Structures are given as structure tokens and as C-alpha cells.
Amino acid sequence: MIVVNNLTKVYKLSKKQMMEQRTKKNIKRAVNELSLTAKPGEIYGLLGPNGAGKTTALRCIATLLKPTQGDIKVCEFDTVKDSEKVRKKICFLTNEIKLDPQFSPKYMFNFFGKLHGQDDKTIQERREKLFNYFGIKEFEDKKIEELSTGMKQKASIAVSLVHDPDVVIFDEPTNGLDIVTARNVTDYLKLLKKEGKTVIISTHIMSEAEKLCDKIGIIINGNKVIDGSLEDILSSTHTEDLEDAFFELYKLHNKEEA
């Protein structure tokens, strides 16, 4: 269960960053008063263009960033006060977090298993299960730097799930993957949902959100403009599909900033 309550995240910009972004304001509001609830047995999708604040929101949930305002509860634990307990319950996958390229997937799996305080037997069982599912078995002893992008991503997903987390946070999990591997990943997310896990993902791929997510939240410029099931969104925007709905909302809400 994830409860985000009025989350605001403000970055201070350095002079160089202000120059780069051509702004005279020395702060950037990455996420503005965002509230959402993701329940167990449900996949929540954060949908938005690049730079909308999706990753920032997920990073806050994953305890890596502290909210400027508002608070976040993951499995009843506060992400600031009980960050270590939250980290026990979650897994976080994002393309900026990588596995050490000099090690094999097997070594990394065992290493993170131990960091999560698991015993050798549990780690081995989890490894058998996950490596078989993602087809990592045949390259489990190869160095990660020798693997292809798809293999790396599969290994990252398997390693992140080592401790059988209750809450799964995936930031653009299918980014850069081919159709087969992407399908593999989305199928596993459905499996996790069936097991009663809370799943939250971010994506900018409309079809993925349409097919996969039980609940969709659309973020534009740090503001959540709508959230609900696909049907809710379509009916309230009077559109036929998610892409049309998104552009309706985008036209409406991007004006304010411009």
C-alpha cells in the first residue's frame, strides 16, 4: 500500500542550471501537491511526458529523496522517519540505478540478497525461480558489462526482486527493451499483481498504460491532472482512447505554464 499525501518536491537550481534551463527562478517545482493511493493487488501507472516529475515522485516514494512538503506512507511506514523499514518492503528499478558491471548477475543477486539479510537457502530458491522466469540461467556467470541491454535489464529486475518485496516501484521498466522482453516484463508485473503486491510504474507509452494499469495518474508539469481507471479517464475527457485523452488534458493544462 502506498499513500502519497500532498507531495511537493522543490529543487534548488545552481547558477549553471538556471542558465541551462533559461530561467531566472532559482527553484524548480518538480512535483506539486501530488496525492495518490496505490493498493495491493493493483498496478498504478504514472503517465506523463519527459520531465513531468514522474521519476522524482517515484524517488520520493523509494526514500531516495525527501519531500519538501507532504508525506508518503509505504506499508504504514513514513519514508523519511522509517526509511530503512520502507526500504525493506520495496524494490526500486530505474535506469539510473545500475548493477556493478564487473560482476555476474549471480554474484549481484547473492550480494543484494545478503544486504537484505536473507539466508543462503532463501537466496538460492529465489534465484532459481527468478532466473528461470527471466531466462537468465544461461548467462548468470557472465560479467554484466558483457551482456546486452535487454539481458542487463532482465538481470536488474531479477536482482531488485531478490527479497520478494511487497511494494514494487518500476521507473519506465520497458524502456529500451524489444517487444519480446518488454512483454516478458509486463507479464511478470501482472503476476506480481496476482500475488497481491502493490505495483507502481511510470511510463510514457500509452498502450502499455492502457493494457497494464488498473489505475492511471497523469502528471503534467509536476501536477497530477487526473487519476482513475482507464474508463473513468475516457469518460471524463469524452475521448475514445488514452492518447486522445492525454492530449486533451495536455492542451488544457500546459497552457497555464506557457
Partner 1 sequence: MSAVKNILVKELTRVFTDKKLVFSLFVMPGLLIMIMYSLMGRLATNMVNDIEKNIPKVYIQNAPEGFDELVSSMGYEAEITPLVLSHNIEDIKADIKSGDVELLVVFEEGFLDKIGAYQNLGDEIPEVKTYYNTAEDYSVAAREKFLNMVLNTYQQQLLAERLGNIEQLQVFYIDKDPQSSIIVDEEKASAKPLSMLLPLLINIMLFSGAMGLGVDAITGEKERGTLSSMLISPIKRSDIVMGKLLSLGILSSLSAVIYTIFTMIGIQRLYGGFEGDADTAMGALGNISFTPIEMIQLLVLLLIVVYLYVSLISLVAVYARTAKEANTYVMPLMIVVMLGSIMTMFSGGTEKGIEYFAIPIYNSAVSLQNLFLGELTMTQFGLTVGTTAFLAAIITVLITKAFNSEKVMFNA
Q: By CB under 8 A, name the binding residues for partner 1.
A: 11, 56, 59, 62-66, 84-85, 87-88, 90-92, 96-103, 107, 111-112, 114-117
Q: Which is nearer to partner 1, 152 or 224 (CB)?
A: 152
C-beta of 121: minimal distance to partner 1 in Å? 16
Which sign does the torsion angle of CA 88, 39, 43, 237 carry?
Answer: negative
Which amino acid is residue 217, in one-letter code? G
Residue for cell digits 494499469? Answer: 213
Other CB atoms within 10 A of residue 43 CB: 23
Phi, then psi, of 127 in degrees rounded to 5: -65, -50
In angstroms, the CA 227 to CA 205 distance is 16
Q: Which is nearer to partner 1, 200 or 212 (CB)?
A: 200
Q: What is the DSSP string of 43-96?
A: EEEEE--TTSSHHHHHHHHTTSS--SEEEEEETTEETTTTHHHHHHHEEEE-TT
Nearest to 176 by CA among 105, 94, 99: 94
In angstroms, the CA 130 to CA 123 distance is 10
Q: Which is nearer to partner 1, 54 or 59 (CB)?
A: 59
C-beta of 179: minimal distance to partner 1 in Å? 26
Q: Which is nearer to partner 1, 101 or 135 (CB)?
A: 101
Q: Which is nearer to partner 1, 81 or 190 (CB)?
A: 81
C-beta of 234: minimal distance to partner 1 in Å? 35
C-beta of 91: minimal distance to partner 1 in Å? 8
C-beta of 65: minimal distance to partner 1 in Å? 5
Give Cα 170 to chain centroid, integer Å: 3
In angstroms, the CA 26 to CA 11 distance is 9
Which amino acid is residue 238, in one-letter code? H
Q: Which is nearer to partner 1, 152 or 215 (CB)?
A: 152
For residue 41, what are the contacts with CB-CB under 8 A and spacing of at least 6? 193, 194, 196, 197, 198
C-beta of 213: minimal distance to partner 1 in Å? 23
C-beta of 9: minimal distance to partner 1 in Å? 8
Q: Which is nearer to partner 1, 69 or 229 (CB)?
A: 69
In angstroms, the CA 140 to CA 105 distance is 5
Beta strands 90-93 and 42-47 are unpaired
